[in-house]
């Protein structure tokens, strides 16, 4: 069977097992470009994807399904190799292969832009168009757009800092995308503090520092992620200091990203700290409920996943980290595909109870009895009342929240939670956990209560 015919058969097989949105977004744009026979039972199949992000997503999410389909259809063991390749040659079918040079069409502006951001190593989806804005990040978003519009003019140094998953890297790469979209030939470098460090150390080791210095000092736009990594490294900070000065002297633009503000970065030289603080420094806060909901809707649309507003709100109310939101959405999509069913609130609620393992491991130890005491104190009630048989309205919410925390963050068995909360039946605990899970998406007050209690318990 020829490669193109084999791939059509594989696509037909996968189309049946995947949702229409996922198939059209991720699988359909791929191509089988080469088959290399190893022996009578094994072969290597090379599959082309349209971008680096596309390749990464396919490898992580659909490698197993594609391999299974190929194994069934070819009756061989297939090893998959994913590559990034431009499919423009398919559009040019019929054009003479060796015509005169002046007959070749120049690359389109869109292709030039794509080549540029792949060269700089920007994620395809980290653009302004896919960035959700709320009060927690609107200032950073406005500053980033101003920098992208006029590099070196609005804010010659933009310093963004904040916790994990707040969108620092997304905004930084969005600046690069906007600049390259306007002019794909723009002089631009994006790297992490670790990559800068490794680069200068390697250049010193090989006694080839001049090319390194020339590359960084001559760029018009320098985007450095995790810049705190250079702290405490004398030679690296020395080179970064001179690079910093050279770029700004030539009216270039620098954007730095860190998990801390300049004055809190240990081991950072005073002269660098002074320069960092001389730019526009913006703290990006953790996403609020509305922003988390918007992030989910944007991500689901990009994935071709149908997610209702109510379902997005349910997820956003129970997961606070933007990074974990993305992981949960991927897991939810996989779960729905495996079950061959639409995403529903019932499916979401079931999955929410099984995604807290990593968070549980990262939380400080807190004994269940301590949790109950803290919940009771927060609501200004006695522990005896919380555990007692009374069902007055003033006791129901604290009791339900206590059960929710013990189940969600401590993974205690239902029977044990029921015993701790006054000898209640496990069905009562299930009802309490489900009620809180659902109510969090509608009640701002309940979300605030839970956030305060978690802070008191875990710090």
Q: What is the 3-state secondary structure (H, E, C) of 2-21?
A: CHHHHHHHHHHHHHHHCCHH
Q: What is the mean predicted confidence (pLDDT) over 12-33?
A: 80
Q: What is the mean predicted confidence (pLDDT) over 416-428?
A: 87
Q: Is pLDDT of 136 > 80?
A: yes
Q: Is pLDDT of 103 > 50?
A: no
Q: How far is CA 338 from CA 341, 345, 418, in A?
A: 8, 17, 33
The pLDDT tens digits of the residues spanning 206-237 come to 888 898 999 999 999 999 999 999 999 999 99
Task: Decide the pairing of beta strands 42-49 and 31-37.
Answer: antiparallel
The pLDDT tens digits of the residues spanning 252-276 come to 999 999 999 999 999 999 999 999 9
Q: In terms of CATH, what superfamily is 3-90?
A: DnaA, N-terminal domain (3.30.300.180)
State residue 206 phi and psi, 5-degree precision.
-90, 0
By the 8 A CB rule, do 341 and 347 touch? yes
Which range in 109-113, 245-249, 452-456 is most confidently predicted, on average pLDDT?
245-249
Q: Which residue has the higher pLDDT, 169 or 345?
A: 169
Q: Which residue has the higher pLDDT, 306 or 190?
A: 190
Q: Is pLDDT of 318 > 70?
A: yes
Determine the pLDDT at residue 87. Answer: 61
Flag the least confident range among 189-198, 238-247, 363-372. 363-372
How is domain 364-458 classified at the CATH fold level? Chromosomal Replication Initiator Protein Dnaa; Chain: A; (1.10.1750)
In the chain, domain spans: 3-90, 118-284, 289-356, 364-458
Q: What is the mean predicted confidence (pLDDT) over 286-299?
A: 85
Class of the domain covering 118-284: alpha beta
Q: Tell if the pTM clears 0.75, that is, is over it.
A: no
What gap in Å lies between CA 143 and CA 189, rounded to an integer? 19
Q: Is pLDDT of 100 > 60?
A: no
By the 8 A CB rule, do 254 and 260 touch? no
Instruction: Kindly report the CATH number that applies to the domain delimited by 289-356.
Output: 1.10.8
The pLDDT tens digits of the residues spanning 431-457 come to 888 888 888 877 878 888 888 888 888
Q: Is pLDDT of 357 > 60?
A: no
By the 8 A CB rule, do 78 and 45 touch? yes
Q: Is pLDDT of 364 > 60?
A: no
Determine the pLDDT at residue 245. Answer: 94
pLDDT classification of 353: cutoffs 50, 70, 90: low
When the pLDDT of each residue in the chain is averaged and rounded to a whole number, the result is: 84
Determine the pLDDT at residue 354. Answer: 60
- HSE at residue 16, side-chain half, CA atoms within 13 A, is 6
Count of other CB atoms within 10 angstroms of residue 356: 18
């Amino acid at each position: 069977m020829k490669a193109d015919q084999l791939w059509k058969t594989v696509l037909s097989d996968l189309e049946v097992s995947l949702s229409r949105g996922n198939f059209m977004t991720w699988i359909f744009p791929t191509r089988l470009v080469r088959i290399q026979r190893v022996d009578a039972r094994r072969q290597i199949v090379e599959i082309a994807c349209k971008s680096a992000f596309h390749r990464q997503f396919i490898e992580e999410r659909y490698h197993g399904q594609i391999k299974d389909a190929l194994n069934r259809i070819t009756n061989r063991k297939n090893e998959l190799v994913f590559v990034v390749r431009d499919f423009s040659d398919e559009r040019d079918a019929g054009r003479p292969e060796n015509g005169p040079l002046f007959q070749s069409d120049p690359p389109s502006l869109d292709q030039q832009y794509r080549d540029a951001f792949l060269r700089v190593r920007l994620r395809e989806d980290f653009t302004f168009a896919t960035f959700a804005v709320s009060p927690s990040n609107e200032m950073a978003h406005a500053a980033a757009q101003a920098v992208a519009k006029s590099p070196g003019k609005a804010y010659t140094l933009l310093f963004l800092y904040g916790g994990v998953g707040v969108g620092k890297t997304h905004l930084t790469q969005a600046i690069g995308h906007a600049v390259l979209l306007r002019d794909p030939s723009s002089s631009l470098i994006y790297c992490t503090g670790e990559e800068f460090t490794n680069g200068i150390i390697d250049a010193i080791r090989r006694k080839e520092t001049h090319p390194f210095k020339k590359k960084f000092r001559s760029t018009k736009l320098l985007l450095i992620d995790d810049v705190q990594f250079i702290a405490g490294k004398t030679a690296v900070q020395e080179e970064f200091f001179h690079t910093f000065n050279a770029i700004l002297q030539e009216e270039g633009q620098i954007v730095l990203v860190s998990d801390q503000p300049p004055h809190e970065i240990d081991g950072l030289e005073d002269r660098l700290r002074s320069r960092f603080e001389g730019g526009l420094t913006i703290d990006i806060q953790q996403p609020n409920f509305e922003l988390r909901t918007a992030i989910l809707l944007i991500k689901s649309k990009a994935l071709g996943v149908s997610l209702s507003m109510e379902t997005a709100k349910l997820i956003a109310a129970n997961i606070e980290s933007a990074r974990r939101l993305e992981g949960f959405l991927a897991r939810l999509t996989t779960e729905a595909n495996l079950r061959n069913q639409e995403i529903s609130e019932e499916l979401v609620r079931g999955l929410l109870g099984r995604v807290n393992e990593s968070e549980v491991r990262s939380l400080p130890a807190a004994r269940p009895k301590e949790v109950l005491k803290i919940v009771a104190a927060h609501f200004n009630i006695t522990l005896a009342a919380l555990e007692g048989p009374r069902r007055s309205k003033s006791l129901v919410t604290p009791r339900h929240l206590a059960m929710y925390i013990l189940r969600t963050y401590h993974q205690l068995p239902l029977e044990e939670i029921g015993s701790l909360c006054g000898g209640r039946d496990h069905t009562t605990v299930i009802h309490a956990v489900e009620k809180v899970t659902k109510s969090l998406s509608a009640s701002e007050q309940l979300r605030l209560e839970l956030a305060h209690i978690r802070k008191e318990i875990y710090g």
